[in-house]
Chain A
């Protein structure tokens, strides 16, 4: 299995508090992604990165920011969490996008009360 870990794996927080999810990889892959998964919607892209300090928005980026200061770490921040951000968040990595092989972390389950 690809070396990719997410932390925390579970978090319960209150509306209005900041939250940071961390994705750490040991594969030295260039591309990193943050997705959220909700019933009826499937996986939706929040932000992705194609290199250190190179990031771009995905389909559902409002309310989220990301940073990638090192190849191995990709952070997702919710500046002020809302109940609509309750979801399961998956980080994924890829070396070559044309192969289609994304390796996913185990997911982080976030509940915003």
Chain B
């Protein structure tokens, strides 16, 4: 079993739609959690951290369920510019970041 797993996608949604991505991790000792965004043929960039109480940044909401070892990302009112691959990232030992395989999102006009 992979250490971090994500919905395989791709997700094709119309502009204005709400879309949710799911991620699960296998190591219960994982300490911190993040969502990264990667545009086609570009480097990944941090989108947001994920806190135990859940957190929101504009149209983006991240949730963490430590008991179920589950992380989610919700995007409301999708824009064309949201089209990208979304990577779930888990930090277990303080130094090593483990990336999920990513979920590709295409927002259609």
Contact = CB atoms under 8 A, between A and B. Distances in A.
Which of B42, B44, B89, B100 is packed against the most chain A CB atoms within 10 Å? B44
Contacts of A41: 101
A85 B87 CA distance: 22
Instruction: Describe B's contact surface by its main secondary structure.
Output: strand
Q: How large is the interface on B (under 10, 10 to 19, 20 to 34, 35 or more residues)?
A: 20 to 34
Contact of B101 (A42, A56, A107): A42
B101 A100 contact: no
Interface residues of A, number: 25
Interface of A: 31, 33, 35, 40-45, 48, 50, 56, 58-59, 90, 97-102, 104-107
Given A58-B96, A99-B49, A102-B97, 4 more contacts: A90-B43, A100-B89, A102-B46, A106-B43
